[in-house]
């Protein structure tokens, strides 16, 4: 995380706070997640080098960059076109080359490149989107904040066994921006 440099992903006015362990505002009323939460979620995915990972909510691209350094291929979807465009050019300028970007509603996942070894969602949904569950490989893990957008939210770890059965584990209380729909 230190090597990625959160400072590169912040608006100029907030660069001084890059090392603060708190979420910060980015464009379009969205946030860059708290570093502790980025680390915690990444860690829970038990990533391996050859993995293909789906991320919903590119935002600033900070989490995307971290995933990019840990796995073979990252597929990242962002629903707000301005954020998607900015994150893509930022990450390309920084030299990240194993990320495929898409602008659109992550609710439907990215069928073309499924199944994924791991899925990370960084916006809070009321329920797990069924397409994401379907696009998780057997033996894979998904991490997603679930709850009411202005109320109680819980980070959930969803594990799919080798035989395809689902196990849900509640991890931490969290506060994420809402999972939006087009």
Token duo for residue 64: 């995307």
| Binding segment toward ligand SAH, per CB under 6 A, in 12-20, 57-65, 90-98, 153-161 | 57-65
CA 96 to chain centre: 16
| String marking each residue 4-43 x if it binds ligand SAH according to CB under 6 A | --------------------------xxxx----------
Instruction: Identify the residue among 66, 128, 155, 177 touching ligand SAH (CB under 6 A).
Output: 177
| DSSP conformation letters of 56-80 | E--TTSHHHHHHHHHSSEEEEEESS
User: What's the Cα-to-Cα distance from 64 to each of 13, 18, 133, 138, rounded to whole Å?
Assistant: 22, 17, 20, 23
Instruction: Identify the residue among 63, 117, 135, 153 touching ligand SAH (CB under 6 A).
Output: 63
Q: Is 119 in the site for ligand SAH (CB under 6 A)?
A: no
Q: Is 59 in the site for ligand SAH (CB under 6 A)?
A: yes
Token duo for residue 157: 């770890």
33 classed as catalytic: yes
Helix, strand, coil shares, percent, the chain, to 5: 30, 30, 40
Q: Is 107 in the site for ligand SAH (CB under 6 A)?
A: yes
- Bridge partners for 144 per DSSP: 156
Give the contacts of 86 (CB within 8 A, at least 6 positions apart): 27, 61
Q: Is 135 in the site for ligand SAH (CB under 6 A)?
A: no
Q: Is 145 in the site for ligand SAH (CB under 6 A)?
A: no
**162 in Cβ contact with 61 (< 8 Å):** no
Q: Is 60 in the site for ligand SAH (CB under 6 A)?
A: yes
Catalytic residue among 33, 52, 60, 68: 33
Rule CB under 6 A: which residues touch ligand SAH?
30-33, 56-57, 59-60, 62-63, 77-80, 83, 105-107, 122-123, 177, 179-180
């Amino acid at each position: 995380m230190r090597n990625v440099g959160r400072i590169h992903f912040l608006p100029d006015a907030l660069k001084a706070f890059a090392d603060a362990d708190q979420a910060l505002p980015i464009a379009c009323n969205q946030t860059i997640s708290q570093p502790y939460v980025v680390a915690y979620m990444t860690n829970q995915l038990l990533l391996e080098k050859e993995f293909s990972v789906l991320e919903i909510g590119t935002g600033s691209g900070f989490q995307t960059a971290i995933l990019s350094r840990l796995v073979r291929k990252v597929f990242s979807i962002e629903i707000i076109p301005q954020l998607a465009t900015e994150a893509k050019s930022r990450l390309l300028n920084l030299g990240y080359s194993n990320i495929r970007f898409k602008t659109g509603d992550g609710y439907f996942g990215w069928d073309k490149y499924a199944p994924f070894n791991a899925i990370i969602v960084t916006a809070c949904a009321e329920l797990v989107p069924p397409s994401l569950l379907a696009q998780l490989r057997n033996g894979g893990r998904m991490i997603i904040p679930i709850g009411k957008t202005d109320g109680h939210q819980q980070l959930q770890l969803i594990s799919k066994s080798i035989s395809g059965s689902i196990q849900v584990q509640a991890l931490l209380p969290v506060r994420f921006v809402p999972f939006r729909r087009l």
